[in-house]
Amino acid sequence: MRPVCFLGRTKIFHQSDRLHFISDSLTGTEDIKMLDFLVKEPNKMVSLVENLKNLSEPLYLFGAGNCGENYLNVLGENGISVEAFLDDDIQKQKSGFYGKPVLSPEEMVGRDGIILISSYGPTSLMKRLENIDSNLPKRVLWSEFFLWEHGLDYYSYYMEHGLELEQVYGLLEDERSREVFRNLLNYKVSRNISLITDINDLGHCDQYFDGAIVRFRENEVFADLGAYIGDTVDSFVKHIKAAGVSYAHIYAFEPDPNNFVELKRRTSHYPNMTYINKGAYSENTVLRFSSEGTWTSFFDEQGDIEVPVCSLDEEIGNKISFMKADIEGAEMQALHGAENIIREYKPTIAFSVYHKKDDIFNIPLYLYELSTGYKFYMRHYGDIPIDSILYAVDSTES
């Protein structure tokens, strides 16, 4: 065994658990090499964008939401024009989306043009096109990844943050977590979708509640940050019942006003619920928000409404035993706002770590700083490159 120093603290690892590094980044270092599991492959996004530049037909984006906005920006940055969006949202068909007309998918029948799927759920949209006209899917140019952060050299970025990535890799508790970590990094470098397929655990367990990691105890207090319309609340209650215990309270945070109404409607039959029409954040303030009315609603300086956000330390201030968050990039801010709760009660944490490029190392390292008693696991749920979850579990209760 050898000691490895993390943020000024020392943890002992067996030789077989050493983090591997890439040799050419630290010339002359015999014992330390940097991230040798990181594969420097061509980024498939680059070739897709080059192909799009050579299109002679009009280009349509199927999906006028957060993902579609990202696509429009990336394509525009590369001089690629978009004819229109396709979407089933009637309101968007009337108003347009970011200066582009929005058509119903049926309007593509009889039109010339190529379709690019700009959605987090490409499979369902492909089926939608198939149901309209069997020839429409043949006109789809979709290539296994999302078109955001085009041009970002992830290989160089990860090498620049090799120390932080080393620290996280060394903190991960099991080999599955390390495999997930490796594949997520290599996917960002290459956009090779098979790397995501290999780590998809969605068919084996429920997201946020992996039975091999999470243990439920009597009188759990659950904070659902980004409760959407109550799907995770439903899942939490299901797992509580299966464990043969009861919960004490559920706090459901949801800033989107449309989602909030549906959340209350769908979960009002559960006892001991507190509904909070706010976002979780580092402080009590007001932020602009894009109210998609979907699970992809997000904080945005150009958002259409203003919503209150709050610190959990101030809003709740009492015990939380399980904290889940999928809040479109505000996860780190929410942790800052719950620092006292985390230090005092050490709740089980299941947080998304895919919205921002540094979440995958900043979030676990921040939690390690707050409490060295956590065990860390990483899992991925889905066949597309979102829904990567970090679990932090109190080592005295596992």
Strands 220-225 and 247-253: parallel
Query: Hey, what are 313's tokens?
Result: 């330390």
Tell me the residue type at 151: G
> Looking at the predicted structure, is the pLDDT value of residue 389 above 60?
yes
Residues whose CB is less than 8 angstroms from the CB of residue 117 and which lie 6 or more positions away in sequence, other chains included: 62, 63, 125, 126, 140, 142
Taking only the tens place, the pLDDT of each residue in 61-82 is 999 988 898 899 889 988 999 9
Q: What percent of the chain stands above pLDDT 70?
A: 85
pLDDT tens digits, 91-102: 999 999 999 999
Domain architecture of the chain: domains with CATH? 44-139 (3.40.50.20), 200-394 (3.40.50.150)
What pLDDT sits at residue 33?
54
On the CB side of 10, how many CA atoms lie within 13 Å of its CA? 4
Q: What mean pLDDT comes out for the span 16-41?
A: 51
- The pLDDT score that the predictor gives to residue 305 is 73
Point out which residues pair with 286 in neighbouring strands. Answer: 308
Q: What pLDDT band is residue 302 in, cutting at 50, 70 and 90?
A: low
DSSP code per residue over 315-382: HT-S--SEEEE--TT-HHHHHHHTHHHHHHH--EEEEE--SSTTHHHHHHHHHHHH-TTEEEEEEE-S
pLDDT value at position 290? Answer: 60
Give the tens place of pLDDT for each residue, 327-364.
988 999 999 999 999 999 999 999 999 989 999 999 99
DSSP state of 382: S
C-beta separation of 205 from 214 below 8 A: no
pLDDT at 300: 57
| Helix (H/G/I), strand (E/B), else coil: 243 | coil
Under a CB-based contact definition with an 8 Å cutoff, are residues 266 and 230 in contact? yes
**Per-residue burial over 357-382, b = 16 or more CB atoms within 10 Å of its CB, e = otherwise:** eebbbbbbbbbbebeeebbbbbbbbb
Q: How many CB atoms lie within 10 A of CB 293?
A: 17
Three-state SS annotation for 247-292: EEEEEEECCCHHHHHHHHHHHCCCCCEEEECCEECCCCEEEEEECC
306, 287 in Cβ contact below 8 A? yes
Token pair listed for 215 = 């243990």
Q: Provide the CA 156 distance to its chain's centre, in angstroms.
A: 22
Q: Residue 193: which pLDDT band, with cuts at 50, 70 and 90? A: confident
